[in-house]
Amino acid sequence: MMKRYFVARLMGVAMVVILSASAYADSGTFNVDRWYQVLDDIRTRAVAQNISQETIDATLKYPAFIPAIVKSDRNQAEFKLTLDGYLARMVNSKRIEEGKKMRETYPTLLSRVEAKYGVQPHVILAFWGMESNYGSYRAAHKLTDAFLTLIYEGRRETFFSNQLLALMKVADDNSLDINDIHGSWAGAMGHFQFIPTTLQQYGADGNGDGKIDIIHSVGDAMFSAGNYLHKLGWNPNEKIVRRVILPANFDISLLDGTIRKPLVEWAAMGVMNLDGTQIAVVDMTAGLVADVKLIQEQRAAAVAAAAAAAANAANVSNSGGVIDPNAIDTDVAPQPVIYAYLTYPNFYRIKKWNNSNWYAIAIATLADELKQ
């Protein structure tokens, strides 16, 4: 191991012992040697990448292990909301109203982003609202400690090591105090919740001060978001999604967005506008996304209702007979209307930012609400 400063090591050991005791009472003793191996590996790699000694020392002088972050990483909540529930939570009236206020607050800045990167103001605002509630989200963790903790945990050691080194490089290149950079437990930071490697690649100076600070500068944050979407191929002339209706017996295996077809093929399969008219069949491919679990539940409920109706009609309860639900003709049972979203190329660009169908639909929905 490389030589360490004695005081820094002493302080670090004390901090680690105090912070780790409660979290690891059930799983075993905290491995101090493993902790210092992590610190030494980061120091060695940082030196090799020509990161300044000042930034290296600031990162490693008083490192803290944070048990709550390990708990968060190991116990990420399973996604359970329906699509409608998710949209109701994420695209609520308060967020829409605040987005409109932000458009009035930053009209010049939003116009500059659009002029340079071709990303419309309502799209930038939608991402800003979704990612940090327009900057009102308060970051909980010093990112150096968050990354060191996650590196120690080891589940994604390489990924988080690369994130910490990228953060150190960003701090160096932009004269930022690395100990003043806070973010989420998983390492996302600033108005648009970039991780460090994304910031390295797409960060842009929006206020002209010669550095990129996406936490304290709204201009830098917006320009960086615009640059990112531009590099992903954003097309301002295309919609993101279109809500449509499908035939009741539509094949739900086609509704996860992974299968893309020309619009003319979807139209031939019965995909229609909400008012029952034919969808536009311009020369473009699209996918289809719907809440498949909800559709399955609705279909099962329809079959059960048909079974109950048949049983009642036949006076099964009086005769002692039994109706097998599997024997009900599901083609005869009334089927619910299927609502879905046609997902155009911009939808898939959003998914490169966040690989979630629900998230991309929410961005599209919020953006539509924030159009002028």
- CA separation, residue 123 to residues 101, 113, 164, 180, 283 (Å): 15, 11, 30, 29, 24
pLDDT, tens digit, 9 for 90 and up, residues 61-74: 999 999 989 888 88
pLDDT at position 310: 67
pLDDT at position 71: 86
pLDDT at position 2: 44
% of the chain surpassing 70 pLDDT: 84
pLDDT, tens digit, 9 for 90 and up, residues 34-60: 999 999 999 999 999 999 999 999 999
Range from 15-29, 58-72, 84-98, 322-336 carrying the lowest mean pLDDT: 15-29
- What's this model's pTM, rounded to 2 decimal places? 0.86
pLDDT, tens digit, 9 for 90 and up, residues 243-262: 999 999 999 999 999 999 99
With DSSP H G I counted as helix, E B as strand and the rest as coil, what are the percentages for the chain, rounded to 5? 55, 10, 35
61 lies in some domain? no
331 lies in some domain? yes
Q: Residues 152-178, buried b or exposed e (16+ Cβ, 10 A)?
A: bbeeeeeebbbbbbbbbbbbbebebeb
Q: What is the mean pLDDT of the chain?
A: 88
What is the arithmetic mean of pLDDT over 200-209?
96
Range from 4-8, 161-165, 194-198 carrying the lowest mean pLDDT: 4-8
Domains contained in the chain, number = 1
Listed in sequence order, the residues at least 6 apart from 69 whose beta carbon sits closer than 8 Å to its beta carbon are 141, 146, 149, 150, 185
Residue 298, Cβ density class (10 Å: 0-12 exposed, 13-18 middle, ≥19 buried): middle
Q: Domain of 275?
A: 241-343
pLDDT, tens digit, 9 for 90 and up, residues 112-167: 999 999 999 999 999 999 999 999 987 889 999 999 999 999 889 999 999 999 99
What's the half-sphere exposure (Cβ side, CA atoms, 13 Å) at 295? 20
Listed in sequence order, the residues at least 6 apart from 246 whose beta carbon sits closer than 8 Å to its beta carbon are 270, 271, 272, 288, 290, 338, 339, 340
Pick from 207, 120, 78: nearest CA to 215: 207
288 lies in some domain? yes
Beta strand 141-142 pairing with 182-183: antiparallel
By the 8 A CB rule, do 212 and 199 touch?
yes
289 lies in some domain? yes
By the 8 A CB rule, do 234 and 349 touch?
yes
62 lies in some domain? no
204 lies in some domain? no
322 lies in some domain? yes
317 lies in some domain? yes
Range from 36-50, 113-127, 209-223, 335-349 carrying the lowest mean pLDDT: 335-349
Listed in sequence order, the residues at least 6 apart from 310 whose beta carbon sits closer than 8 Å to its beta carbon are 323, 328
Q: Got the DSSP string for 145-167?
A: HHHHHHHHH-TTHHHHHHHHHHH
